[in-house]
Amino acid sequence: MMQSTTEYSQAENQSALFAVKTQLVVGLLVFILMIVAGVVLRAAQGSWIEIGPDLFYQLMTLHGAGMVGTAGIAGSVVMWHFLRRQVQLSTAFFWTFFLLCLLGVVLILAAIFIGKFAGGWTFLYPLPAKSMGSWSVLGAALYMFGLLSIGVGFLILYLDVGRGILHRFGNFAKALGLDSLFGSTPVNPDHPLSVVASTMVLIVNVAGIAAGAVVLVMCLVNLYYPAFAPDALLIKNLIFFFGHVFINASIYAAVIVVYELLPHYTGRPWKASKVFFAAWAAVTLMVMAVYPHHLLMDFPMPRWAATMGQIVSYMSGIPVLAVTGFGALTIIYRSGIRWTMAPCMLVLSIFGWSAGVIPAIVDATIQVNLVMHNTLWVPGHFHLYLLLGLLPMVLGFAFYLIDTGEQEIAVVDRLSFLAYAGGGFLFCAVFLASGTASIPRRWAVHYEAWLGHAQLGTVAGVIVLLAILVLGLRILLRLPSAGVPENTG
């Protein structure tokens, strides 16, 4: 077992676990609420319910911001829980992070439901300032202050994470394993994988959130002093750098659960290696260089940026995915693993994540993007790796916390798992098929010919909703009394 340098008292472990559980429960509840909103959106597109375009775009903004924000929080909870075994972390910082996120949520809810803000979670300039009467300047400003508050929460958490990592490893290069990758230090096979992933997340997301803060402040100034009108293309670059990095960092934080729990359930260690370090080092740089794939149809962008967006997209998704997928398969193969809910969720998550990267890369090809840009192909790919990738990682973590060592999966759990995976896959497949049929994304009202897609999507969404209601209930009933999970890994 890994020798640990952390010293916590029993009481500290208890309060840390309480913090993790509380934040996880709130995160799961928000996920479920946002899925309700998502089903309403899809049903409205299928004209099964009538909500009007105003409410549609408010709910779409809520669903987007709520899901992305909660994905970030849930990823951080997973990361914090496992990183805390390796480096000294402060529970007070963890709570500060959470409270700032909650403040952000309150501001965003006020922005959307009182201020009527409906400009999309990406608040693309100059739309927030030019609502043509749909929402107030205050509504747009509240939304931006909400995002700022969440961003500040993350930066505060990362401050403590960075301090903890530096305290044990001296510098981030060592934490990433770069000294064995490029230097003469031999690879330490017990170098904690959670530290490598956390360091990557810390580096890229501090950059991403800093860009986000800059652009939010610029947009806020513009809201009140329209004479200050920054360049729209610059703003779009900053927003998509922030958005791309933030959601990817959420997945890279959540994937720590795979590294920690597959060894736990198979009884086989997942060792660090040069390939592992190389993959994470590569993706640290590439995840930041790849964002121009969101601007392929912005023709004033320099040609090299679009080309880089395409080429790096091909390379960026693959290294960590390959290392994780291949590592997971070799660890599981003939291990006699006990297939309870947590490992099932983790395997589903690796599938959803890998499957989602394929249509993402397809769309990052300029020739394809000419046709697929702003079609439902786009939500198709990201729902794959969020709904079937990130969320199962978080659910797997929750099932691990409530694992009492039983050998069998209860029938309700088995059925809900299958419904979740099947319904989720169908839901994403319908989005992708809609994209291939050139149905645009972000349209409140769909033409007659598109209704079949939207209705099938709604049915799939309802299946997912029912499944996660059952799974959520199973978790919520057992989580409060779950004890401190043992420190193996």
Residues in contact with Cu ion by the rule CB under 5 A: 244
Task: State how far Cα 134 lies from the chain centre.
Answer: 30
CB atoms within 10 A of CB 9: 8
41 binds, among Cu ion, ligand HEM, none (CB under 5 to 8 A by kind): ligand HEM
Could you give the CA distance from residue 200 to residue 172 in angstroms, rounded to a whole number?
9
244 binds, among ligand HEM, Cu ion, none (CB under 5 to 8 A by kind): Cu ion
81 binds, among Cu ion, ligand HEM, none (CB under 5 to 8 A by kind): none
CB closer to Cu ion, 244 vs 446: 244
- Kindly state the smallest distance separating residue 423's Cβ from ligand HEM, in Å: 7
CB closer to Cu ion, 358 vs 484: 358
- Kindly state the smallest distance separating residue 294's Cβ from Cu ion, in Å: 5
Per DSSP (E only), the strands in 8-92 are none
Looking at beta carbons, which residue is closest to ligand HEM?
A: 38
Residue 487 Cα distances to 3, 81, 82, 177, angstroms: 11, 11, 10, 23
Q: Which of 85, 94, 90, 82 is nearest to 5 (CA)?
A: 85
Q: Which of 22, 23, 121, 27 is nearest to 391 (CA)?
A: 27
- Kindly state the smallest distance separating residue 299's Cβ from Cu ion, in Å: 19
Applying CB under 6 A, the residues found at the interface with ligand HEM are: 35, 38-39, 41-42, 60, 63-64, 67-68, 71, 120-121, 379, 383, 386-387, 390-391, 427, 441-443, 461, 464
Could you give the CA distance from residue 241 to residue 257 in angstroms, rounded to a whole number?
26
- Kindly state the smallest distance separating residue 43's Cβ from Cu ion, in Å: 28
Token pair for residue 81? 């829980």
Q: Does an H or E element contain 55, and which?
A: helix 52-83
Q: Which of 303, 324, 321 is nearest to 360 (CA)?
A: 321
Length, in residues, of the chain: 489
84 binds, among Cu ion, ligand HEM, none (CB under 5 to 8 A by kind): none
- Kindly state the smallest distance separating residue 372's Cβ from Cu ion, in Å: 14
Helix, strand, coil shares, percent, the chain, to 5 = 75, 0, 25
| H helical segments located in 84-118 | 91-113
CB closer to ligand HEM, 40 vs 152: 40
68 binds, among ligand HEM, Cu ion, none (CB under 5 to 8 A by kind): ligand HEM
CB closer to Cu ion, 81 vs 244: 244
- Kindly state the smallest distance separating residue 388's Cβ from ligand HEM, in Å: 9
CB closer to ligand HEM, 270 vs 377: 377
